Structure 1
Amino acid sequence: MAKFKSLLGYAATAVVFTGAGMLLSETDAANTVNQAADSARKSVLTTVAEKAADGDVRTQLLIENPELIKRVMEGGGFGGSFSRNVAQHMFGEDFQPAIDDAIEMTTIEPVGDRAGGKMWLIRMPIVNAALFETDEGLVVVDTGMAPAGPAILKVIRSVSDKPIHTIILTHGHVDHAYGTRPLVEDSPNAQIIAQENIIPRFERYLKLPGSFSKYMSQPYDELPKKKEDIVWPTKTFRDRLEIEVGGEKFVLQHRKGETDDQLYVWVPGRKALASADYYQGFLPNVGNGKRAQRYVEEWAFAMREMADLNPEYLLPAHGAPIVNQAQIQENFTVLAEAFESITEQTLDGLNKGIRKDLIVDSIELPEGLSSHPTLAVKYVSPKDVSKMLLKQYTGWWDDVPSNWTPASLSSQSSEIANLAGGINALVDRGNTLIATDIILASHVADWAWMADPENPKVQKLVIDVYRERIKDPRSNTQEILAYLDQMTQAREKQLQAVN
């Protein structure tokens, strides 16, 4: 807190001097004040450079701009509690601050009592797991992120001393499948079941640690590098698997959705459904521009298939449990209809030969759907979903002729700067657009950055533009994180100049 207040104090000083300079315009006094403002701004940068040793530059940006933290967190909790330590160390089995946060924040909620056995929803930061007690032992659906493993085991043992009989992984994403190790250490005879495509998914983590580190904003050193770093399933299946534990049937049904290895778990004796990532309480993560292919049509099919089961208890992987059968039906149907509508609009545009960007721009949810809470835009937008469909059905070309074999982005940007009258004119235009068209201002900032990233005025423009872009209520969580990354790159350049 002391560090936070200190940095805000420096920042406030810089703002005061800058404001005074603007008010005095081009007078001699203004020149003096502007010099003081430059000195104050440099002091802020110097202070941040010194403090950066205590934390990453991205964190320092959030300290300087506390209003951005709220925007990042609006979708960052995925319908649950949020921990920065956990979110930034999803693979960190040994990162103690994340482990401590997970233990402190993880809760276990009873959901219902059917067929003589209890069931609970384990609510960790960002993600959930489901727990079913049977006469033969416990069935756990998903295990959370790596640092949450000890927390899951702790809350399980707070409600039951039975051994863990079966662990079901609904898919191989890190927030669902990497907290497994403490559970198998506790119950070494537990079987681990997953759909067969989880194997190549885990292998991709081993093959592309640098890529996952970049696009997931995770420390490279914590990514798995060898097979022993991952707890692998002991049993896999292809389409459908029915198992019996303690005389109860558990149905594991594979349907592509967020991943190609995703499955849901239906417990017919309890009318309970563990819905994995198919249902997230808002427009799901189906159009994520940083992730591999999502399967929109199959996702819609899965929603209708699960609705047809008429579940009475919904244990979602994100958000609160739902025990209202009518609400479950409505939410599942609304989500299916939205995906079907976006698919129809996108494929219709392709069949009409419409340029891809125009297809995306034309996407609108039907009247009556767009305002439904299940489709709240927090993480991605309907237009992002259309982009994912275009990725699935077409090649990488965007229908713009010059982009088939384009000039480098830096060359294009330099030419745009020349047309604008130089880099300073481009920066001035970007600053003007901040107040009138923040989306267009972002393009100008990108051109300036790619043309001259070492230019201090460009660096400041990038930070100023993307700060406002993050604050724009139209921005969703995934794009906010991309904008924060760009701000971080610009700030790193500023700090290099100070040092």
Structure 2
Amino acid sequence: MDENPASQWTSAAQQAPQDAKFFWTGGPVEVAADTWFASLGSGVTAFATRGGLVLVDTGARLFAGGIADRIRTRTDLPVHTAIYTHGHIDHAFGLESFLVEGQGAPQVVAQERMAERFARYERSPRHNATVNSRQFGGREDDPTFQGEELRFGFPTYEPTRSYQHSLELDVGGTAFELHACRGETDDHTWIYCPERRVLCTGDLIIWGVPNAGNPQKAQRYPWDWAAGLRAMAETGAASLCPGHGGPVVNDPRLVRRILQDTAAFLEEVVERTLAVLEDGSPPHVDVVRRVELPRSEAPWLQPVYDEAEFIVRNVIRYYGGWWSGRPSELKPAPRADVAAELAALSGGPGRLLDRAVELAPRNMALACHLADYALEAAPDNPVIAEGVAALYTDRGARESSLMATNLYRSAAAGALSRLPSA
């Protein structure tokens, strides 16, 4: 993997500060003739054709209106076809905002597994709302993720046409090639328009370490993801429209490099993890510690959202099952019982917390283990709750990935929620 980032940028998005890549908001950027990209929360690509507008993704209900307003400064064509790259709510739930008055329902195309995803969402709405409250809000009850606009379930416009492996579409004489690729999800599609040399990757590219290890979400597939990226690199695409962040415009060398670098990163994580698993299948925590994580200076491979350690854990989950490998954890005692026993052995929950605070400057990970046990042994003690919250607030501030930052912030908020005034 090439360790040196590209020195020349070819679009306004690429001139943004490094930490703004994943969160880039802007557009419409003309990525090819009659083709525009805009992003607010996630990206949407609009292709004007003689048959009408083709949209790749439609944003979330919460943000789709803002994206549509941007796109509509360039075209007033009715939407002929919407292609969902995958079924996440920030990509497949905002189509109604793009429709023009009086137009009929558009064709909606997606990979065939998307229906199963929406059915899962319908069965676990409260769970999903809590998970996303933690991940994006840094607390378990963020009201933004409890409301209708970010509700999981079936989108207003469900797919009307599905495919399994690949599909060729023609809309008004413009061809679109759709390819299934398990990656962040099992229902993912990437799209290439050969006439305009525009590649739409969905979340297979997000201007950061790939979201292949999300701690709270379903299985990811980094090996298939890497193969898909290498197939994309062979298209000869000149412009790249990602799931998050800004586009690459008319720079085929940079497009190819981003795709190949990201593929190599994922391949290295997978191969290094399997090598340790093959060395006697040690307990999972030991596998994680023994894997040498790949690193890159490239701006498209920074841990701003997900991170390599989490990808290792996802590889282990796929190949190694749910058991950690520790015999005591096969059928473990209740955590509260373990916490009470450790507190008794150490002189009480307060002593556990004191030791955690003492350890924090030199070993924050170990300190947090002790803090957890202190809180679980004395869940109603406000002094311990405040101390634990302070530790997790500090730990969250030290992290680079949004996932780790917000999960630690959520832990701090959860500890404080035990206080009488909370």
TM-score with structure 2 setting the length = 0.88
Structure 2 matches for 1:281-430, cutoff 5 A? 281-323=207-249, 324-353=251-280, 354-366=282-294, 369-430=295-356
Matched, 1:486 2:411: yes
> CA distance change for structure 1 residues 406 and 304 in 2, over 3 Å: closer, same or farther?
same
Q: Give 1:342 deviation, angstroms.
A: 1.0
> CA distance change for structure 1 residues 151 and 459 in 2, over 3 Å: closer, same or farther?
same
Among 445, 456, 465, the alignment partner of 2:391 is 465
Q: Give 1:129 deviation, angstroms.
A: 0.5
1:266-294 CA distance string (max 9 Å, x none): 00111110111111111011110011111
Matched, 1:144 2:59: yes
Among 199, 219, 223, the alignment partner of 1:273 is 199
1:420-445 CA distance string (max 9 Å, x none): 11112112112212222222111111
Name the SS of the counterpart of 1:406 in structure 2. coil
> CA distance change for structure 1 residues 482 and 197 in 2, over 3 Å: closer, same or farther?
same
Partners of 1:267 and 1:310 lie apart in 2 by: 11
1:154-205 CA distance string (max 9 Å, x none): 2232211211111110000011011112334643231111111110111111
Which stretch shifts more, 264-273 or 157-166?
Answer: 157-166
Partners of 2:388 and 2:323 lie apart in 1 by: 28
Q: Which amino acid aligns with 2:44?
A: A
Partners of 2:393 and 2:258 lie apart in 1 by: 34
Structure 2 matches for 1:1-400, cutoff 5 A? 78-81=22-25, 107-113=27-33, 118-124=34-40, 126-184=41-99, 186=101, 187-217=103-133, 219-222=145-148, 224=151, 230-323=156-249, 324-353=251-280, 354-366=282-294, 369-400=295-326
Higher relative CO (Cα under 8 Å, sequence separation at least 6) belongs to: 2
Mark the runs of 5 or more structure 2 residues left unpaired by the alignment.
1-17, 134-143
Partners of 1:122 and 1:371 lie apart in 2 by: 26
The aligned residue for residue 34 of structure 1 is none
Matched, 1:440 2:366: yes
Partners of 2:297 and 2:186 lie apart in 1 by: 29
Q: Is the 8 A contact 1:144 1:179 kept in 2?
A: yes
Partners of 2:157 and 2:175 lie apart in 1 by: 25
Which stretch shifts more, 400-409 or 424-433?
Answer: 424-433
Name the SS of the counterpart of 1:159 in structure 2. coil
Q: Is the 8 A contact 2:119 2:153 kept in 1?
A: no
Name the SS of the counterpart of 1:391 in structure 2. helix
> CA distance change for structure 1 residues 294 and 123 in 2, over 3 Å: closer, same or farther?
same
Name the SS of the counterpart of 2:108 in structure 1. strand
Name the SS of the counterpart of 1:424 in structure 2. helix
Q: Which amino acid aligns with 1:107?
A: G
Name the SS of the counterpart of 2:55 in structure 1. strand
For the pair shown, which has the larger CA radius of gyration, 1 or 2?
Answer: 1
> CA distance change for structure 1 residues 339 and 219 in 2, over 3 Å: closer, same or farther?
closer
> CA distance change for structure 1 residues 76 and 328 in 2, over 3 Å: closer, same or farther?
closer
Partners of 1:328 and 1:215 lie apart in 2 by: 33
Equivalenced residues, count: 391
Partners of 2:42 and 2:152 lie apart in 1 by: 24
> CA distance change for structure 1 residues 184 and 232 in 2, over 3 Å: closer, same or farther?
farther
Q: Give 1:334 deviation, angstroms.
A: 1.1
Q: Which amino acid aligns with 1:80?
A: W
Matched, 1:451 2:377: yes
The aligned residue for residue 42 of structure 1 is none
The aligned residue for residue 28 of structure 1 is none
Q: Is the 8 A contact 1:427 1:457 kept in 2?
A: no
> CA distance change for structure 1 residues 283 and 173 in 2, over 3 Å: closer, same or farther?
same
Q: Give 1:363 deviation, angstroms.
A: 2.1
Q: Which has the higher helix share?
A: 1
Q: Which amino acid aligns with 1:196?
A: E
The aligned residue for residue 498 of structure 1 is 421
Q: Give 1:307 deviation, angstroms.
A: 0.3
Q: Give 1:75 deviation, angstroms.
A: 6.9
The aligned residue for residue 33 of structure 1 is none
The aligned residue for residue 37 of structure 1 is none
Partners of 1:203 and 1:248 lie apart in 2 by: 33
Q: Is the 8 A contact 1:469 1:475 kept in 2?
A: no
Q: Give 1:109 deviation, angstroms.
A: 1.5
> CA distance change for structure 1 residues 161 and 185 in 2, over 3 Å: closer, same or farther?
closer
Partners of 2:95 and 2:306 lie apart in 1 by: 29
Q: Which amino acid aligns with 1:111?
A: V
The aligned residue for residue 140 of structure 2 is none
Partners of 1:429 and 1:235 lie apart in 2 by: 59
Q: Percent identity?
A: 32
Q: Is the 8 A contact 2:293 2:309 kept in 1?
A: no
Q: Is the 8 A contact 1:430 1:444 kept in 2?
A: yes
> CA distance change for structure 1 residues 162 and 184 in 2, over 3 Å: closer, same or farther?
closer
Partners of 1:110 and 1:225 lie apart in 2 by: 32
1:427-481 CA distance string (max 9 Å, x none): 2112212222222111111111111111112101111101110121x45211211
Q: Which amino acid aligns with 2:46?
A: L
Q: Which runs of 4+ in 1 moved over 4 A?
A: 74-77, 223-227
Mark the runs of 5 or more structure 1 residues left unpaired by the alignment.
1-73, 82-105
Q: Give 1:226 deviation, angstroms.
A: 7.0
TM-score with structure 1 setting the length = 0.75
Q: Is the 8 A contact 1:288 1:380 kept in 2?
A: yes
